């Protein structure tokens, strides 16, 4: 079981890094930056890795509609983002700051990202369930 948790943590961490590189790189595309630079942080690997917890959450709510599951994942992601961001902010190590954005909470969460996190949560659910199709639940 611990091996599976570790594998899921790594898969989620790498997937999150990939999403972040794509998302931040697209900003370069829309601003006509030809190099399409992306930006992330080593901290983000661990934070995205926590998405492995979506699997046990899914096991509890798998019979509920995908809309409700997506909302649950969005709330989970917001809580994780707030808690990890608050911790890192104490050490001046938080890699994001949404203070200048309209719909932010303490500069740590952007409420307008809810549709993005809704989608990402369901994508993680799919990845974790496809990968673990024949594995034991934990």
- Cα-based angle 134, 75, 23 (whole degrees, multiple of 5): 80
C-alpha 36/C-alpha 117 separation (Å) is 23
Strands (DSSP E) contained in 13-138 are 104-105, 109-110
Pairwise CA distance, residues 86 & 79, whole Å: 10
> Rounded CA gap, 32 and 39, in Å?
16
pLDDT in the model for residue 130: 86
Beta-carbon contacts of residue 3 (< 8 Å; ≥ 6 apart): none
pLDDT of residue 134: 52
Residue 136, pLDDT above cutoff 50: no
18-69 pLDDT, tens digit each: 999 999 999 888 888 889 889 899 999 999 999 999 999 999 999 999 999 9
User: pTM (2 decimals)?
Assistant: 0.89
Tell me what pLDDT residue 29 has: 86
What's the rounded Cα separation, in Å, for the pair 50 and 127?
Answer: 14
**What tens digit of pLDDT does each residue of 98-117 get?**
999 999 999 999 999 999 99
Lowest mean pLDDT: which of 4-18, 20-34, 114-128? 20-34
pLDDT on residue 27: 87
């Amino acid at each position: 079981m611990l091996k599976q948790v570790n594998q899921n943590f790594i898969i989620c961490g790498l997937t999150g890094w990939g999403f972040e590189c794509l998302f931040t790189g697209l900003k370069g595309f829309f601003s006509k930056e030809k190099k399409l630079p992306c930006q992330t942080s080593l901290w983000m690997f661990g934070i995205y890795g926590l998405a492995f917890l979506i699997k046990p959450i899914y096991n509890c709510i798998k019979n509920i509609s995908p809309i409700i599951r997506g909302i649950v994942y969005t709330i989970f992601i917001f809580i994780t983002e707030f808690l990890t961001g608050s911790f890192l902010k104490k050490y001046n190590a938080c890699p994001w700051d949404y203070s200048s954005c309209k719909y932010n909470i303490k500069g740590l969460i952007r409420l307008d990202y809810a549709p993005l996190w809704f989608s990402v949560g369901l994508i993680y659910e799919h990845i974790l369930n496809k990968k673990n199709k024949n594995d034991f639940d934990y």
